């Protein structure tokens, strides 16, 4: 029991973790759960049931093989986005509604980089896209970098010199996006829960915002590269290409890469994670003041008398689960 208490103190098991639908094992990430079910050394009992009744995208266990087939067809999303984005052109539908729209608004952002510097290795934002929660492109423009471009990386970006000749200056793009995200709320006043500012979704957002020279509160960002359930078991980030193929069931970034396609993939991953059906709690985080003494050392004797189920009931998550946005 002493070892179990110490394990629970450091593991932060909670209702928000991915869990095996067969043996109820708690996993730190979906990659860990995937390895448990179908990895090189899976639990054989779970593997055999999963092969018959498990969805290979969301890793849910269904009631029957037929239910699995119906669910998996719905769970696997379709790509086919590049055709609709191919002749998109410039677009600007950004509006500031001062929070009058119902509910917290969510937008996804993605950029495409060209190269600067003597060897072309310095990332410069040359194209940016924003989509809303309904996958509508609300902003799309080419960006004129502040320093000369030495490598257009045409094979992956599809960007030519003439596209950037009369493009919107970086400073102007940055201000427009910043104003749209803040939505009439001063930066210092933005708070994670409530308020007017918009939730920003993306993959490796820190890099994109750095190249846009744009600041935004971390509590308002939902980054698929840093969300613990979507990370590798080694706690490193997965690529957006891999996440889309593994969890949504289609391929992206197969040739020339389109930021609008990346936006849609990140938004779909976010909405899938947000829709997880977890038990709602008043204070779900280990960092909440009400939970700070749950596994305090002075409670050791009391904790050792608890059953594993009782300990799990007071154990809280050490990350913000996106289901709390819903």
Cα separation, 113 vs 149, in Å, equals 10
Give mean pLDDT, residues 250-257.
Answer: 90
Q: What is the mean pLDDT of the chain?
A: 92
| Pair 325, 199: CB distance under 8 Å | yes
Q: What is the pTM of this model?
A: 0.93
Question: Residue 55's closest CA among 66, 42, 31, 71?
Answer: 71
pLDDT digits (tens, 9 = 90+) for 168-194: 999 999 999 999 999 989 999 998 887
Token pair in block for residue 134 = 């309904």
CA–CA dist 246, 267 (Å, integer)? 15
190-229: pLDDT as tens digits: 988 878 899 999 999 999 999 999 999 999 999 999 999 9
Task: Look up residue 147 and give its two tokens.
Answer: 């320093």
- The better pLDDT of the pair 117, 91 is held by 117
């Amino acid at each position: 029991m002493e070892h179990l208490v110490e394990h629970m103190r450091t593991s932060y098991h909670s209702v928000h973790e991915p869990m095996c639908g067969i043996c109820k094992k708690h996993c730190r990430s979906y990659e860990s759960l995937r390895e448990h079910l179908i990895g090189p050394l899976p639990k054989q009992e779970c593997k055999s049931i999963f092969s018959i009744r498990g969805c290979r995208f969301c890793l849910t266990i269904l009631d029957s093989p037929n239910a699995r087939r119906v669910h998996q067809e719905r769970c696997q999303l379709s790509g086919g986005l590049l055709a609709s984005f191919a002749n998109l052109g410039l677009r600007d539908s950004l509006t500031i509604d001062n929070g009058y729209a119902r509910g917290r608004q969510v937008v996804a952002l993605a950029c495409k980089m060209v190269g600067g510097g003597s060897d072309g290795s310095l990332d410069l934002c040359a194209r940016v896209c924003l989509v809303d929660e309904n996958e509508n492109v609300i902003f799309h423009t080419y960006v004129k970098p502040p320093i000369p471009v030495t490598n257009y990386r045409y094979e992956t970006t599809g960007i030519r010199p003439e596209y950037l000749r009369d493009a919107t200056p970086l400073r102007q793009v940055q201000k427009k996006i910043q104003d749209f995200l803040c939505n009439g709320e001063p930066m210092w006043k933005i708070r994670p829960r409530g308020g007017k500012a918009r939730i920003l979704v993306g993959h490796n957002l820190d890099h994109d915002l750095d190249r846009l020279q744009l600041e935004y509160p971390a509590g308002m960002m939902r980054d698929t590269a840093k969300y613990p359930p979507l990370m590798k078991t080694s706690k490193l980030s997965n690529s957006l290409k891999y996440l889309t193929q593994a969890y949504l069931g289609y391929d992206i970034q197969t040739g020339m890469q389109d930021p609008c396609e990346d936006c849609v993939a990140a938004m779909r991953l976010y909405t899938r994670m947000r829709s997880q059906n977890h038990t709602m709690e008043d204070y779900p985080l280990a960092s909440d003041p009400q939970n700070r003494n749950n596994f305090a050392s002075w409670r050791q004797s009391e904790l050792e008398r608890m059953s594993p189920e009782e300990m799990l009931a007071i154990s809280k998550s050490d990350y913000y689960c996106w289901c709390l946005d819903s």
